[in-house]
Structure 1
């Protein structure tokens, strides 16, 4: 038997079809890098879908989950010159064909054979993970592995900011105070927006947002008129941009009337419930409103590392739990069930 490593493996969706086990160590190709994973972050929605039997839209099983990670370079192929063992790195989880209509237009996000570590390629909840050399990025010594593991969600949020078409002085509302909402709010605060509000129900997360300099409004899930009134008292004409980081069709439906004329509602969060939403076409037409979406990212990792290294996004402040790989399921349960949980980090390896 060849060299092996410890990893979390889902043979198919559902916790009963998964285990932490020994699997073959990945063979390093000439143009590839093997990373020794020190921190791998749980993406609550994705990992929960693997675990609850739903599966993710991109998934092909069996697979090692985990698409947010950082660590040390452990092995490099003979054609790799930019990295050497011991380098501190993070990595872009995406893979594209490079030759389709969309890839040739530099729109790799839409590639029909879109590959993603942790979905349809083995990912970072393992002692080691294999990457193409062009997907690996150096991180500074000042950036913790925990924070660097958040480069992927930050990269996705940067794509959302790009799609927002913000003008100088615009006002922004972020609905939701989970990890994505908190990242988005920090990015918009550092943008050319004049004001950024966060509306959410979790008090501990709103307190964190306040510490980050974000003005907050508490949401009453049973009476939306309360937070709507509070926002319109501050912004009588409404706001230019609303970003949904809740995945709630009801939030999207109700929030359209909080937009200024010419405003945009950007749906960032996935609607995991598969519910449908209804938007008022007359309101949208009369006020020239835009409904847009933001899926994932391509080629944003360099900027994401810069954002984290400069503390524009405080990655360490988002980490609320840490577990060894052997206790992955405990970490996932905490992330899913504890409303105060934001980002939970799994450590496949210990610092020596």
Structure 2
């Protein structure tokens, strides 16, 4: 099969004759239809496999979708030909965190496109129970966005959003825009903050109530004005930088009992202004 393989720092190679994997017990063979490129993939190309102890070579691509091509032994829950999105975290079900219903922190977790070969190839194998059938109204091209959208859903579910909540999103990349839409679907008003005018225009298109460019307007001053003097109920930072987090904390000083959520990759630094917690 054809595959794009990371061999090391800034060493990404196209292999037209990579070995096609075979599904083991409980697994399926997927014909990959689409695989998104995440910022994490770019960082692994730049720096190597920095998010896992497993080393190269590795096929990247953890945001993927495909069609079931073959079934491994014992698989009866899904049929050949089914279009699916991939839940990319494979957990053990037995460790401390899995038993506490926090399996995303699994001590023995494996990840499609990190510890295991991912979706930047013609085929991939993955457990059948982590392949989610797609509804007819979701296209193959849209399906890989299930992964970043699930990140957004998790963040919003933990923010206790109600129909009268106000929220500010710092960062309007893929995850930020997904979070914005989930917040709007939950009934919140949303202020989108980003220094890129193009990103703010998209944010407005997908439902932002207000948009702010921090290079032109100080969010710490503007947000209270937009939210009747109190500041937003929740601030969600999705841009992934320590500076953004510090600015987020500063904005939070304008809202007593407000909450702050941060979506970040593992291994990144986290900074707060302790004086900003009200």
TM-score by length of 2: 0.91
Does the alignment pair 1:136 with 2:131?
Answer: yes
Answer yes or no: is the 8 Å Cα contact 1:47–1:65 preserved in 2: yes
Distance in 1 separating the partners of 2:6 and 2:247: 38
* Alignment partners' CA distance in 2, 1:118 and 1:7: 12
**2:57 is the alignment partner of 1:65:** no
Aligned residue in 2 for 1:277: 271
Task: Kindly indicate whether the alpha-carbon contact (under 8 Å) linking 2:203 and 2:211 is maintained by their aligned counterparts in 1.
Answer: no
Is the Cα contact below 8 Å between 2:90 and 2:109 reproduced in 1? yes
Measured on the aligned residues, the alpha-carbon RMSD in Å equals 1.9
2:76 counterpart residue number: 81
Aligned residues: 273
Provide the secondary structure at the position in 2 that maps to 1:262.
coil
Matching of residues 231-242 of structure 1 within 5 Å:
231-235=223-227, 236-242=229-235
Does the alignment pair 1:103 with 2:73?
no
Is 1:191–2:186 an aligned residue pair? Answer: yes
Deviations 1:192-213 (A, max 9, x none): 42x1111112112211111112
2:243 to 241, 246, 250: 250
Q: Does 1:209 align with 2:203?
A: yes
Distance (whole Å) between structure 2 residues aligned to residue 27 and residue 190 of structure 1: 40
Q: CA deviation at 1:275?
A: 5.1
CA distance in 2, matches of 1:215, 1:261: 22
* C-alpha distance in 1 between matches for 2:43 and 2:250: 32
Unmatched segments (≥5 aa) in structure 1: 288-352
Aligned residue for 1:345? none
In 2: Cα distance, 1:271 partner to 1:95 partner: 17
Alignment CA distance shift 1:73-1:217 (3 Å): same
Q: Matched residue of 1:82: which SS?
A: coil
Q: Pairwise mapping of residues 313-328 of structure 1 onto structure 2 (< 5 A)? A: none
Per-residue deviation, residues 29-52 of structure 1 (Å, max 9, x unmatched): 2321111001000112x1112111
Query: For the residues of structure 2 that align with 1:216 and 1:255, how far apart are their CA atoms?
Result: 17
Which residue of 143, 147, 150 maps to 1:155? Answer: 150
Contact 2:28 2:72 (C-alpha < 8 Å) held by counterparts: yes
**What does residue 213 of structure 2 align with?**
219
Would you say the 8 A contact 1:217–1:227 is kept in 2?
Answer: no
Q: Which residue of 2 aligns with 1:6?
A: 2
| CA distance in 1: counterparts of 2:136 and 2:168, whole angstroms | 34
Q: TM-score, normalised by structure 1?
A: 0.73
Helix, strand or coil: the match of 1:186?
helix
Q: Contact conserved, 2:61 with 2:112, CA < 8 A, in 1?
A: yes
Q: Matched residues in 1 for 2:250 and 2:6: separation?
A: 43
- Paired residues of 2:249 and 2:272 also in contact (CA < 8 A): no
Of 51-60 and 90-99, more deviation after overlay is shown by 51-60
**Aligned-pair distance for 1:168?**
4.5
- Specify whether residues 255 and 78 from structure 1 end up closer, same or farther in structure 2 by C-alpha distance, changes over 3 A only: closer
Contact 2:193 2:214 in 1 (8 A): no
Using CA pairs below 8 Å that are at least 6 residues apart, which structure has the higher relative contact order?
1
Q: Cα offset for 1:184?
A: 0.3
Unmatched 5+ residue regions in structure 2? none
Distance 2:169 2:140 in 1: 27
Q: Offset at 1:265?
A: 1.1
- 2:220 is the counterpart of 1:228: yes
Q: Distance in 1 between matches of 2:112 and 2:120?
A: 10
Aligned to 1:179: 174
1:20 corresponds in structure 2 to 14
Match of 1:106, SS state, is coil
Distance 1:207 1:66 in 2: 28
Partners of 1:97 and 1:255 in 2: CA distance: 36
Q: 1:42 aligns with which of 37, 43, 59?
A: 37
Q: In 2 relative to 1, CA 231–283 (structure 1 residues): closer, same or farther, beyond 3 Å?
A: closer
